[in-house]
């Protein structure tokens, strides 16, 4: 695998809809993929990235919610063990440029995962990091923010979703609508 071929995958790429498979081998190749994932995430100014967003249907995601080098986290074969409370905040996704919607998530989470040395660990988080975990776990299960939006927000985002479908979709071009107005950026 050529790492430079790993690029950010945008909605409606069908890979984003697949359930990702567990990782069986933790080796240098995986460490290299993780490095490339961090590059993609930082380039796009994101807080988290699931492997599927780099085109690999693997149960792996990375986060950095502090923006500092020591804020980097790697979660291999993660499971959320516990969730508590609810909080609604605007949430976006690197695979949906410029789209944000208020989503309700648990305020607290406990997660279990494996790190790059092959050791299992458990971690607790609230708010931003807990939200990032829930968002990335959704990616591993093929669930996207447009599935979590309220019906009203889905309707409000219809134009932006259609714009992404036209820009990044591989389906037949719908003639005429391609020249339509571009969704307004927020």
The helix/strand/coil state of 12 is coil
**Residue 49 engages Zn ion in binding (rule: CB under 5 A):** no
The answer to whether the CB of 50 falls within 8 A of the CB of 139 is yes
List 93's β-bridge partners, or say none: 96
Cβ 154 to Zn ion shortest distance, Å:
16
Decide whether 30 or 93 has the Cβ nearer to Zn ion: 93
The answer to whether the CB of 47 falls within 8 A of the CB of 62 is no
Residue among 26, 76, 93, 125 that touches Zn ion (CB under 5 A): 93
Cβ 185 to Zn ion shortest distance, Å:
18
Cβ 95 to Zn ion shortest distance, Å:
5
Decide whether 93 or 140 has the Cβ nearer to Zn ion: 93
Q: Is 163 left (phi over 0), alpha (psi -120 to 50) or beta?
A: alpha
Cβ 72 to Zn ion shortest distance, Å:
18
Q: Which stretch binds Zn ion (CB under 5 A): 58-66, 88-96, 126-134, 149-157?
A: 88-96
**Residue 183 engages Zn ion in binding (rule: CB under 5 A):** no
Question: Residue with structure tokens 């992404």?
Answer: 164
Burial 126-147 (b: 16+ CB within 10 A, else e): eeebbbbbbbbbbbbebbbbbe
Counting residues that bind Zn ion (by CB under 5 A) gives 1
Site for Zn ion in 115-174 (CB under 5 A): none
Cis check: omega of the bond before 15, within 30 degrees of 0:
no
**Residue 33 engages Zn ion in binding (rule: CB under 5 A):** no
Decide whether 93 or 125 has the Cβ nearer to Zn ion: 93
- Structure tokens belonging to residue 162: 């259609």
Question: Residue with structure tokens 């950026």?
Answer: 185
Decide whether 6 or 93 has the Cβ nearer to Zn ion: 93
Q: Which stretch binds Zn ion (CB under 5 A): 90-98, 102-110, 119-127, 152-160?
A: 90-98
Instruction: Please name the residues in contact with 46: beta carbons below 8 A apart, sequence gap of 6 or more.
Output: 94
Interface positions with Zn ion (CB under 5 A): 93
């Amino acid at each position: 695998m050529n790492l430079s071929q790993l690029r950010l995958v945008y909605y409606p790429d069908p890979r984003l809809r697949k359930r990702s498979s567990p990782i069986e081998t933790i080796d240098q190749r995986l460490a290299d993929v993780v490095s490339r994932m961090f590059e993609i995430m930082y380039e796009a100014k994101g807080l988290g990235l699931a492997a599927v967003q780099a085109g690999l249907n693997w149960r792996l995601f990375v986060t950095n919610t502090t923006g500092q080098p020591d804020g980097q986290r790697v979660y291999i074969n993660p499971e959320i063990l516990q969730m508590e409370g609810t909080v609604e905040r605007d949430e976006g996704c690197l695979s949906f440029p410029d789209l944000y919607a208020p989503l309700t998530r648990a305020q607290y989470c406990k997660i279990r995962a494996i790190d790059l040395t092959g050791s299992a660990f458990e971690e607790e988080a609230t708010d931003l990091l807990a939200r990032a975990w829930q968002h990335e776990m959704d990616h591993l299960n093929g669930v996207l923010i447009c599935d979590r939006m309220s019906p009203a927000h889905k309707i409000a985002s219809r134009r932006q979703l259609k714009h992404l479908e036209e820009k990044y979709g591989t389906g037949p071009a719908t003639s005429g609508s391609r020249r339509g107005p571009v969704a307004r950026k927020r």
